[in-house]
Every structure is written in structure tokens, then in C-alpha cells.
Amino acid sequence: MVQIFRAFAIIAVVLIHTTPGAYWQVFFRPFINFAVATFLFLSGYLTKIDNDNWGAFYKKRIIRILIPYVIWTVVYTIIFLDLSHLHKKLLTANASFHMYYLAVYIQFVLLTPIIGKLAKSKYMHLGWLVAPISIIVFNYYRLLSGQELNPTVSLIWSDAFLGWFTFYYLGLILGNRMIEKNYSLKMLTILYLTSIVLQMGEGYGWLMLGGSDCGSQLKLSTLLTSSLFLLIIYTILRKGNIDIQNKYLRMIGDYSFGIYLCHVMVLFVIMPLFPFSRSFPFLITAVVVLLLSLCLCYLGHRVLGEKVSRWLGLI
């Protein structure tokens, strides 16, 4: 089931990056804003905080990300014709707008022992404050004051783990059985759908205040919606009474990392090669981008083999 949820997450990522602006961001994005939250939650859920060899943990997790990060940073720097700033792109994870996730993930890997100690301490509840306080300080201040963040502060915020903390933290806590509760799937679903309405309301407010990023995954309402979605995932995984056996979804989940890395290239380099692609409805564009990205990863894996495919992040 984990790979199925990864499939849902990467489908949502592609949809996020093809969804039009303005009211589409307000009314459609709330249904797919669980994307990055799900990846981070599953990573935390599958991580053990009682570890006698953190060095091996770091080596395995960071090399898994770092080599593809360097390769794809170079690829996107070439694609966007900015080679003179390659060193800056490598340091700031902004060769493309989606590369921030790799920087965020590496931060969580490095901080896992500390986050684990916090989760096991009597101050566990303080962890739930990190993301909402950060979102208020960095996003709401900017929106309500009408002042843009200092470029350096803005760069730090865009690459920082702070706004995403709740999702990894929740995964660690639930995956390590530090909190064990039986949740009603029906009640969680009702609360989730209700929170989507709240997210639409907040997104509309952001739009009225001139916030072009009104569909952002880092809003307080989105924090609530995504957390409820993750509790639904946890409940399904824990009870094990739902098992989606779909080989195509499983394949998408297996190649989700590769799809994440290459789909922006497909969107901006390969899609324009198709006649009339600019006139495609965005849902069609999303499907085509997803399938082309999947094909690239699958064929690359078949041709290059396991080892090289891992270096490239195709699997």
C-alpha cells in the first residue's frame, strides 16, 4: 500500500504543476495539496528512531538523494540556460522550482536523531508548533503586510524544512508507535472533506489579498487538510483492511522519485514539441506529462540497469 500512496502523491504533484492560476488554485488545489506531505509522512513512517548506527543511516539516505540532486541540478541548469550560476544552483536547490524537496528531505534525514529525541521527550507537543508558527511568520506576515521577504530570507524559507515539519514528525511518531490510536475512517473522511472547504475559503482570502500563491501547500488550512489525509493513510496502513491491487498504480509508485525529478523537464522541454499541446486542458496535460515521465523512467531503468538508474534517481 505504501507504493500506492506514493503513486497518489506523485500524481498530485504533476497536477499541482499543471493547474492554472487564480480560481483553479482556490477550488481545485485543495484536493491535491496532500502531495509533498504524503512523501514526507511516508519517509518518517518508515524510519526507525532507535538506531545504533546513524552513520550508515546518513550514508544510505543522503547518497540516495545527493547524487540524483547533483545530476538533475546540472540538467535543469542547462535546460534553463543558466550555467554561469551552476554553483549557486547546487547550493540553493533552485535550479528548478521543484528541487527544493530534495533539500528539505536531506534536512529531515540529518535532523532525524534530534527530532526523534524531541518526539520521545516530555516536550513532544512542541513539535506540533514548528510548522504553524513558521507559516505564520514567513507566509502570513508577507501576505498581510504586503511586503516581500528579504531575498535571503525568502531563499532560506523556500529551502527550509520548517513549514513541512508536521508531516515528517507525524510519520516518525506514528511509524514508531509512540502514539497508538484507533481512528474512525468515516470520521476522518468527513473531517478531511470539511477541511477542504476551509482551505478553499482561506485560498479565496489569499487571492483577494493579492496572493498569487493562494493554492500553496503551506497554509494553516492546508496543514490541517494534509494532516487529516495522513491520518487516513495511517489508519488504512494500520488496519490493513484496504488493499488496492493495481499494477499500474504500483508502477507509478515504484518510479515516483524518477517522475518527480524528470516531470518538469517533460513539461517544459518535451511537451512543447507536441503540436497544439498548449491548447490541451490542464488535466490532459497532466496525464500526458505523467505517462511520458513514467515511460522515460521505465525505459531508462531497463536500458541503464539498477545501479545507474539509482544514481539518476529514476527508481
Give pLDDT, residue 84: 77
Q: Cβ distance 292 to 270 under 8 Å?
A: yes
Q: Cβ distance 68 to 311 under 8 Å?
A: yes
Chain mean position to CA 3: 15
Over residues 190-203, the pLDDT tens digits come to: 999 999 999 999 99
Q: DSSP for 4-26, please give it.
A: HHHHHHHHHHHHHTT--STHHHH
* Assessment of whether the complete model's pTM goes beyond 0.75: yes
Whether the per-residue pLDDT at 244 is higher than 80: the answer is no
Mean residue pLDDT of the chain comes to 92
Calpha distance 178→174 (Å, rounded) = 6
Over residues 158-182, the pLDDT tens digits come to: 899 999 999 999 999 999 998 878 8
Q: Residue 106 carries which side chain, given as an amino acid letter?
A: I
**Mean pLDDT, residues 280-306:** 95
Give pLDDT, residue 241: 66
Q: Cβ distance 154 to 148 under 8 Å?
A: yes
Query: pLDDT-derived band of residue 274, with 50, 70 and 90 as boundaries?
Result: confident
Over residues 116-150, the pLDDT tens digits come to: 999 999 999 999 999 999 999 998 888 888 787 88
Give pLDDT, residue 149: 80
Give pLDDT, residue 124: 94
Share of the chain above pLDDT 90, in %: 76
Over residues 60-110, the pLDDT tens digits come to: 999 999 999 999 999 999 998 888 788 889 999 999 999 999 999 999 999
Q: Cβ distance 185 to 120 under 8 Å?
A: no
Greater pLDDT, 156 or 6? 6
Query: pLDDT-derived band of residue 278, with 50, 70 and 90 as boundaries?
Result: confident
Calpha distance 39→262 (Å, rounded) = 17
